[in-house]
Amino acid sequence: MWVVLLLSALYTALSVFTAIVSIRYYGMMKAPGWEARATDAGWIVTSVAPDGAAAGRLEPGDRLLAFNGDERVEVLGAPLLDNVPADQTYRVDLARGGRRISAELMLPLIRAGCCGRSFRLSVSSSSSAVPCSRCCGPTIRRCGWSGAR
């Protein structure tokens, strides 16, 4: 009998925790401030939001080499940002003009849907409309994109 009561209490606690997390983080998304597209040469930065986290650090045409030293980004590309925790800095290594450069960037977590605008994100030759709360340009990623939380 006590096992049933213990499991019921545990189930109730986990249900409350799930409800709190769902309410708190519903509609949140990562906003890197840039977008990239897969090409024959690798993953290339296609645009940088002028007021985003990458403004002045990344440029269209930069080729992605690594995120936080993980060089799988050359093959797997921008979806590896899903592994970067939100609201923390990450290092992106790039090839620009034949030189390897690094940039420390913040990956802000923002609430979606406040301003009612939609933007497009290119990921592996597909695009999806994404609502934006801070209207930071065409680089907002949907929170469900490849499992981002």
- What is the C-alpha separation between 22 and 100, in angstroms, rounded? 41
| Helix, strand, or coil (residue 20) | helix
As a whole number of angstroms, the longest Cα–Cα distance in the chain is 70
* Residue that is written with structure tokens 């592996």 in the block: 124
| Helix, strand, or coil (residue 80) | helix
| Helix, strand, or coil (residue 96) | strand
pLDDT in tens, 19-29: 888 777 677 77
Distance of CA 4 to the CA centre of its chain: 41
Contact 101, 94 (CB under 8 A): yes
pLDDT of residue 113: 56
pTM: 0.58
| Beta bridge partners of residue 34, listed in sequence order | 48
pLDDT in tens, 53-99: 899 999 999 999 988 888 887 778 777 777 788 888 899 999 999 99
Tell me which DSSP letter residue 82 carries.
G
At 9, the pLDDT band (50, 70, 90 cuts) reads very high
Domains in the chain: ranges and CATH: 28-147 (2.30.42.10)
pLDDT in tens, 93-122: 999 999 999 999 988 887 765 443 333 333
Contact 30, 135 (CB under 8 A): no
Looking at the predicted structure, is the pLDDT value of residue 132 above 50?
A: no
Alpha-carbon distance values, 119 to 50, 105, 109 (Å): 14, 21, 17
